[in-house]
């Protein structure tokens, strides 16, 4: 087992340095006027730029993997392809371990732990789930299907960036909020329901399947919480935002 683990260590280092370099490069881009006047919004804008890039790469890659190997939708435990395996490795090492660890440190250093605690929990659960695809070479199909959520994240992250820039009155924001809702159903809720049904029926009796099922059920709860926030924020907003919710853009 030891030789298998060794390649992950330099990969973790490369991933962390890669996303540090990416964040530094993106931070040099011009900031919207409303964002650069507020350090908190500036911090969040930079994080969202990295997340936006990650979502575009992983989301499109996941769609291509399923198009090339459609049996992953049925044989989620045993179906395997080189592209799908590399995607899981990329997401676990480069994005989850590199970007998420960097993001976690960034949240703590920026004193946003209370506002962003759910992101920290999500990072820990996601890292644990993807280990099965890397080290046991199983459930690669389930990992690829899980990464369809990144397609939804493209529109969700774009929505959050527009909110930070106080652009909710633009036509583009109003169009995106409906597109975002559709994408949330298609690429976040629907795959999550499909995965939960699969693991409840077939994987719950196995040790690794039980571990993944427990993570999946916790993610189900978090996704429903996010969905309720999304509906409340975009379709049932408060007439006059309270002082307590002035920084809601951090989590909604």
Rounded to a whole number of angstroms, the distance between the first and last alpha carbons of the chain is 41
Q: Tell me the two tokens of residue 29.
A: 């881009």
What is the residue-wise DSSP string for 122-189?
Answer: HHHHHHHHHHHHHHS---HHHHHHHTTHHHHHHHHHHHHHHHHTT-TTSHHHHHHHHHHHHHHIIIII
pLDDT recorded at residue 1: 40
| Count of domains forming the chain | 1
Residue 15 falls inside a structural domain: no
CA-to-CA distance for 1 and 39, rounded, in angstroms? 45
Residue 20 falls inside a structural domain: no
Residue 115 falls inside a structural domain: yes
pLDDT recorded at residue 3: 45
Res. 4: pLDDT tops 50: no
Res. 104: pLDDT tops 70: no
Cα 223-134-210 angle, rounded to 5 deg: 55
Nearest to 250 by CA among 110, 146, 121, 154: 110
Main-chain phi, psi angles of 20, to 5 degrees:
-65, -45
Residue 32 falls inside a structural domain: no
CA-to-CA distance for 88 and 219, rounded, in angstroms? 18
Nearest to 134 by CA among 251, 2, 4, 3: 4
pLDDT recorded at residue 2: 40
Range of the domain at 209: 38-235
Summarize pLDDT for 154-194 with one digit per residue, the tens.
999 999 999 999 898 999 999 999 999 999 999 999 999 99
Summarize pLDDT for 30-62 with one digit per residue, the tens.
988 888 888 878 878 887 888 898 899 899 999
CB atoms within 10 A of CB 37: 10
> Side-chain half-sphere of 153: how many Cα atoms within 13 Å?
20
Residue 5 falls inside a structural domain: no
pLDDT recorded at residue 90: 76
Summarize pLDDT for 211-242 with one digit per residue, the tens.
788 888 888 888 888 899 899 988 887 765 55
pTM for the complete prediction? Answer: 0.83
Residue 213 falls inside a structural domain: yes
Residue 19 falls inside a structural domain: no
Residue appearing with tokens 């926030």: 229
Ramachandran class of 175: left when φ > 0, alpha when ψ lies in -120 to 50, beta otherwise: alpha
| Percentage of the chain exceeding pLDDT 90 | 26
Residue 23 falls inside a structural domain: no
């Amino acid at each position: 087992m030891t030789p298998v683990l060794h390649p992950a260590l330099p990969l973790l280092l490369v991933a962390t340095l890669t996303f540090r370099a990416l964040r530094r490069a993106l931070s040099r881009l011009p900031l919207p006027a409303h964002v650069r006047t507020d350090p908190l919004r500036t911090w969040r804008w930079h994080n969202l730029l990295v997340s936006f890039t990650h979502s575009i790469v992983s989301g499109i890659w996941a769609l291509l993997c399923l198009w090339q190997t459609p049996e992953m939708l049925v044989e989620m435990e045993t179906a395997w392809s080189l592209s799908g395996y590399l995607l899981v490795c990329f997401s676990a090492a480069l994005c989850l371990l590199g970007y998420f660890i960097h993001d976690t440190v960034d949240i703590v250093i920026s004193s946003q732990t209370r506002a962003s605690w759910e992101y920290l929990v999500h990072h820990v659960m996601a890292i644990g789930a993807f280990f099965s695809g890397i080290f046991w070479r199983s459930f690669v199909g389930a990992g690829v299907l899980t990464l369809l959520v990144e397609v939804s994240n493209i529109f969700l992250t774009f929505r959050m960036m527009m909110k930070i820039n106080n652009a909710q009155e633009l036509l583009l924001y109003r169009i995106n909020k409906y597109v975002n809702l559709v994408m949330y159903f298609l690429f976040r809720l629907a795959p999550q329901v499909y995965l939960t049904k699969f693991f409840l029926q077939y994987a719950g009796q196995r040790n690794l399947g039980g571990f993944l099922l427990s993570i999946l059920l916790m993610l189900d709860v978090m996704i429903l919480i996010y969905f309720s926030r999304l509906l409340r924020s975009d379709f049932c907003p408060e007439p006059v935002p309270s002082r307590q919710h002035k920084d809601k853009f951090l989590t909604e």
